[in-house]
Amino acid sequence: MKWNRIAVLVITLVTAPQALAEDIFAGVTLGQVSTEESDTDNLGFVAGYSSSEGYGYEVFYLKTIEDDSASVSGFSGDISTDVWGIFGVYKSSGDIYFKGKFGYGVVSVDIDVDGGGKFEDSESDFAFGLTVGARLGPGDLELSYTMLPDLDDFDGTDVEADTDVIALNYLWYL
Q: What is the pLDDT of residues 145-170, one digit of tens each?
A: 999 988 766 656 666 678 899 999 99
pTM: 0.80
Domain hosting residue 100, numbered range = 2-173
Split into its structural domains, the chain has a count of 1
pLDDT tens by residue, 85-124: 999 999 999 999 999 999 999 998 888 887 777 878 888 9
Window from 16-20, 32-36, 40-44, 79-83 with minimum mean pLDDT? 16-20
What SS3 class is residue 3? helix
What CATH number corresponds to the domain at position 100? 2.40.160.20
CA atoms of 111 and 156, how far apart (whole Å): 14
Higher pLDDT pick, 105 / 37 = 105
Helix, strand, coil share (%) of the chain residues, nearest 5: 10, 75, 15
